[in-house]
Amino acid sequence: MTSTLKVVLAGCGSITNAWLPVTKEIEGLQMVGFVDLIEDAARKKAVEYGTPDAVVGTDLQKVLDATNPDIVFDCTIPEAHISVTLTALKHGCHVLGEKPLADSMDHARKMVAASQEAGKIYAVIQNRRYDPNIRRLKAFLESGAVGDITTVNSDFYIGAHFGGFRDRMKHVLLLDMAIHTFDAARYISGSDPVSVYCKEWNPAGSWYDHDASAIAIYEMSNGLVYTYRGSWCAEGLKTTWECDWRIIGQQGSVHWSGDQNMQAQVVAKTEGFINPYDDVEIPSEPAPLKIGGHHGLIRDFVECVRTNTIPETICTDNIKSLAMVFGAIESAESGKTVDIRW
Ligand SMILES: NC(=O)c1ccc[n+]([C@@H]2O[C@H](COP(=O)([O-])OP(=O)(O)OC[C@H]3O[C@@H](n4cnc5c(N)ncnc54)[C@H](O)[C@@H]3O)[C@@H](O)[C@H]2O)c1
């Protein structure tokens, strides 16, 4: 029989709509507490969820003391991730938190150290990894069909009119969105960042207060080069939210539109000025593991808590994706190439 795991939710804003329906579908999860700086928001969530008797409050520590949960789900704003995570780990809870891991590298390192000291899991929702298309692409690349990967490019162009806090935010594209892309680049390439040069700017006519466009060149481990070009202020011909990708291997290339569309060509034989190429089918995964966005990731996390195993988006790994964000920002601010450390 599946044992019951008690859960407290911290932060009861809009993203919890992607979390709470999932928790109902996972056997043996019991929501025992709801915390938000705005008490009404926490109470509303408890009622909506169908647990009006759950403990509700504005102070995480008090709710933890009253409920003694096994897990804390952190859906607060990035600036609050450190306090929520440290409080929860100190209380002996495992933590699954929304992206980004932290609002600075210094905070991120403290959180990783705290999870190691506590011997508890701290993992991050990097939901775009749990997408069947990226899993299909990765399986194809791992088959060696295009040879060793040397170069990865990604383009992200969406004219997004949010109209809220993002319009006023500094480094909005890099901080709020590019973490998904950088994490995908690490996953697709199987490599980690070494250094970055980044140029950030705000295009003329932008509806953002600060830079909403960026181009970054990363040197990755294994000598691989990864380039990112992106903008949230680009009208027309929009890419998918997953980006438009080109992956170049020693024997061929793959183009992935970020959705189900992907093509590959490999060298048919070595001959002439430009070699002849074969189109190669990229097989669909018959039963892909690790898919389902928030749903799949939360399910895997709970399974890891139960079986004492390590989730794919564990903080010790996810911090490398975060380091790509803060490396790019440091480079954009200094105008210099920056070594990336985590
Ligand atoms: N994975 C994704 O695709 C995705 C999409 C959107 C947002 N997010 C992330 O989800 C997080 C929350 O975003 P949102 O859109 O729900 O924001 P939101 O503003 O709608 O909700 C955040 C809530 O957290 C509460 N809060 C703030 N500090 C708190 C604290 N110290 N303790 C308890 N509650 C606190 C706020 O009162 C608010 O109700 C962010 O980290 C964001 O980057 C992820």
Neighbours of 289 (CB within 10 A): 9
Q: Does residue 220 share a domain with residue 98?
A: no
pLDDT at res. 48: 96
Residues 5-18: what's their mean pLDDT? 97
Q: Is 13 in the pocket of ligand 1 (CB under 6 A)?
A: yes
pLDDT at res. 61: 98
Q: Does residue 254 share a domain with residue 335?
A: yes
> Which residue's CA is minimally distant from atom 3 of ligand 1?
127
CATH label of the domain that carries residue 242: 3.30.360.10
Q: Where are the beta strands (DSSP E) in the chain?
A: 5-10, 29-35, 55-57, 71-74, 94-98, 122-125, 149-157, 193-201, 213-220, 225-231, 244-249, 252-256, 262-267, 277-280, 338-339
Last residue of one domain, picked from the residues 107, 125, 143: 125
Does any domain span residue 317?
Answer: no
pLDDT band per the 50, 70, 90 thresholds, residue 1: low
Higher pLDDT, 291 or 233: 233
Cα 228 to its chain centre, rounded Å, is 16
Q: Does residue 141 share a domain with residue 69?
A: no
Does any domain span residue 304?
Answer: no
Does any domain span residue 62?
Answer: yes
Does any domain span residue 309?
Answer: no
Q: Does residue 237 share a domain with residue 332?
A: yes
Q: Is 118 in the pocket of ligand 1 (CB under 6 A)?
A: no
Last residue of one domain, picked from the residues 103, 125, 147: 125
CATH label of the domain that carries residue 49: 3.40.50.720
Name which of 262, 313, 334, 328 is nearest 99 in CA terms: 313
Angle, CA of 310, 19 and 75, to the nearest 5°: 80
Q: Name 24's Cβ contacts closer than 8 Å, sequence gap at least 6.
A: none
Q: Does residue 165 share a domain with residue 100?
A: no
Q: Does residue 134 share a domain with residue 119?
A: no
Q: Does residue 281 share a domain with residue 260?
A: yes
User: What is the average pLDDT score of the chain?
Assistant: 96
Q: What is the pTM of this model?
A: 0.96
| Cα distance between the two ends of the chain | 41
Alpha carbons 112 and 132: distance in angstroms, whole number: 29
Residues 320-337: what's their mean pLDDT? 98
pLDDT in tens, 232-287: 999 999 999 999 999 999 999 999 999 999 999 999 999 999 999 999 999 997 77
Does any domain span residue 305?
Answer: no
Tokens 């909005």 belong to residue:
172
Higher pLDDT, 287 or 92: 92
pLDDT in tens, 137-167: 999 999 999 999 999 999 999 999 999 889 9
pLDDT at res. 165: 86
Span of 1-10, 55-64, 302-311 with lowest mean pLDDT = 1-10
Q: Is 86 in the pocket of ligand 1 (CB under 6 A)?
A: no
Q: Is 212 helix (H, G, I), strand (E, B) or coil?
A: coil
pLDDT at res. 3: 85
pLDDT at res. 286: 72
> Which residue's CA is minimally distant from atom 27 of ligand 1?
76
Q: Does residue 154 share a domain with residue 107?
A: no
Tell me which residue range forms the domain holding 220: 129-286+323-339
Q: How many domains does the chain have?
A: 2
Q: DSSP label at 314?
A: B
Q: Which helix H or strand E contains 325, and what residues bound it? A: helix 315-334
Q: Does residue 150 share a domain with residue 106?
A: no
